[in-house]
Chain A
Amino acid sequence: MYGKGLRALSISTVVAMTAALTLVFFYAPLEAEQGFLQKIFYVHVPLAIVSLCGFVLGGLLAIAHLRTRDPRWDFRSYVAIHMSLIFGLATLITGSIWAKGSWGHWWVWDEPTLVSFLIVFLLYATYQPLRFAIEDPERQARYASVFAVTAGAFVPLNFIAVRMSTAFLHPRVLGSTSNLPGPMALTFLISLIAIALLYATLCKYELTAKHTRAQVRALRRRLAGEESGRAGEGGRTSRSAAPSALPAGSVGPRPAGQAARTAGYPIKGHT
């Protein structure tokens, strides 16, 4: 169901990324003050923008889940947030590299965008532990959605608040993207498109992979369920931070003792 268009998307991503890299290295002019290191800006800022949009998207998908109670929306919300968290980590790392290269410190508090990002990252880092700490899958999905909506609304508010608090300290070093000279603006735009496509492709991959795996598990369970006869106690429901990839009711009862997979994060747990 999610695999349609995956190939086309992947190809577009590769094309866009190649284009972006070419532009960054061969077309965009070398910036006077910061030199070569400034080029990391073409990676760092798009990563930040895509990551933030991803978090907000996760919140919107969560709203759909709360309204329709269809677990598939929660599944999509989970993937969006999960991927945004990874892109967010990349944002912080590239930001830190740039800071070290430009000002000699691995971290600077003067950059409101970076600071806001850290706060948002710390908040979303609790998403998976929150999910993992709730056993009942339906409640887990519902609470995760409430969190996703709250956090999604928090992102813009937080940015505004932090921006206000650093406004008078230092002039904004990253510079507004609206007054970039021509070649830089073009390179930035292409980079942004490339990173956005990368995000979309990776999300689609994750959605497809998880969905397929869930379908296989369901089929296996149905086969085993029919062989063993009665559903019995149903076995212990194991803890999992991953939401249900299938619409409700599309799987049969689970035979006793079958372990469920846990999600990507290597969080220790026991069945």
Chain B
Amino acid sequence: MSAATDTSPASAVARDAGAHPRREGTGLWTTVRALLRKELLVELRTLESVPGMSLFALSTFVVFHFALNRGSVEGDLAAGILWVTLLFAAILGVNRLFVADAEQGGFDGFLLAPVDRSAMLFAKALTLLAYLVVLELIAVPAFSILLLGPPIGPALGGLVATLALADIGVAVIGTLVGALAVQTRARDLLGPLLALPLFVPIVIGAARATEPLLVGAHTGTPGARWLATLGVYDLLFGLIAYALFDFLLED
């Protein structure tokens, strides 16, 4: 450093320290954490996703009441209503997941950084997972109050396990589909169209697993085969998403 350098803050920050040694890129989990903080901060500031999803679920329960003309449901009807509602609310979240990034240059900012690009897949999937958990904390009690006949207490254990496995699948597929749809012209339409068929196996596994839980007399346990189906689907799609996601980011 030359002795004649002036000491104002401006030149202090402008001073080039000479040729930099090649920096190691920022670690994967550091990046994921940074992204997660940013995601949750933006969501807390704008409240664009979670309140909408939750409100949608509650309204849908009311619609179902009138559409089916029932005050109380159980068994496979209950399971069906619950899962359809959760899935459609999830799609709202999927639609919003990448919009801020696409519209405000978030992708470019991320792509310029020396980071592992898979971090965005992890961060977005975890974000969507978080949204789903909050959604369910609101929607499931609401469901048990508004529509569910049998008490939910004994069913909770199995229900939580099913919700966890289904949520992971929805989060992974939702992230992949959200990233695909956000760069297209008709993103609000294509998102659901792409997601729904891919969600069908999740609906099958989750609804079949939940059925025996929502009956009055003898609450059963969720069939292990259905939970296993969900688990395998989650795993396979997780691998597919991991392999393909980077291709959606680059140019």
Residues of A within 8 A of B (CB): 66, 119-120, 122-123, 126, 129-130, 133-135, 138-139, 142-143, 145-147, 149-150, 153-154, 157-158, 161-162, 164-165
B240–A149 contact, CB under 8 A? yes
B248–A146 contact, CB under 8 A? yes
Give the total number of A-B pairs whose CB atoms are below 8 A apart: 76
Please tell me which one of the listed residues B187, B229, B251 contacts residue A161 in the complex, with CB atoms under 8 A apart.
B229
Which residues of A lie under 8 Å from residue B37 when comparing CB positions? none
Please tell me which one of the listed residues A119, A122, A161, A162 contacts residue B233 in the complex, with CB atoms under 8 A apart.
A161
| A147-B180, A157-B236 known; A142-B185 Cβ under 8 A | no
Residues of B within 8 A of A (CB): 176, 180, 183-187, 190, 193-194, 196-198, 200-201, 204-205, 208, 225, 229, 233, 236, 240, 244, 247-248, 251
Please tell me which one of the listed residues A66, A149, A158 contacts residue B201 in the complex, with CB atoms under 8 A apart.
A158
From B205, which residue of chain A is reached at the shortest CB distance?
Answer: A161
B190–A133 contact, CB under 8 A? yes
A133–B186 contact, CB under 8 A? yes
CA distance A46 to B187 in the complex (A): 36
Please tell me which one of the listed residues A130, A134, A142, A150 contacts residue B198 in the complex, with CB atoms under 8 A apart.
A150
Please tell me which one of the listed residues A126, A139, A153 contacts residue B194 in the complex, with CB atoms under 8 A apart.
A126
| A147-B194, A153-B240 known; A158-B200 Cβ under 8 A | yes
A150–B240 contact, CB under 8 A? yes
A154–B198 contact, CB under 8 A? yes
B201–A157 contact, CB under 8 A? yes
24 examples of A-B residue contacts, CB within 8 angstroms: A120-B197, A126-B193, A129-B190, A130-B194, A133-B185, A133-B187, A134-B184, A138-B251, A139-B183, A139-B251, A142-B247, A143-B180, A143-B248, A146-B244, A153-B240, A154-B198, A158-B200, A161-B200, A161-B233, A162-B200, A162-B201, A162-B204, A164-B204, A164-B225
CA distance A134 to B102 in the complex (A): 14
From B226, which residue of chain A is reached at the shortest CB distance?
Answer: A164
CA distance A154 to B200 in the complex (A): 10
| A150-B176, A161-B233 known; A126-B190 Cβ under 8 A | yes
CA distance A157 to B196 in the complex (A): 15
Q: Which of B176, B183, B186, B248 has the most CB of A within 10 A?
A: B183
Min CB–CB distance B242 → chain A (angstroms): 12
Which residues of A lie under 8 Å from residue B185 when comparing CB positions? 133-135
CA distance A118 to B201 in the complex (A): 13
From A115, which residue of chain B is reached at the shortest CB distance?
Answer: B200
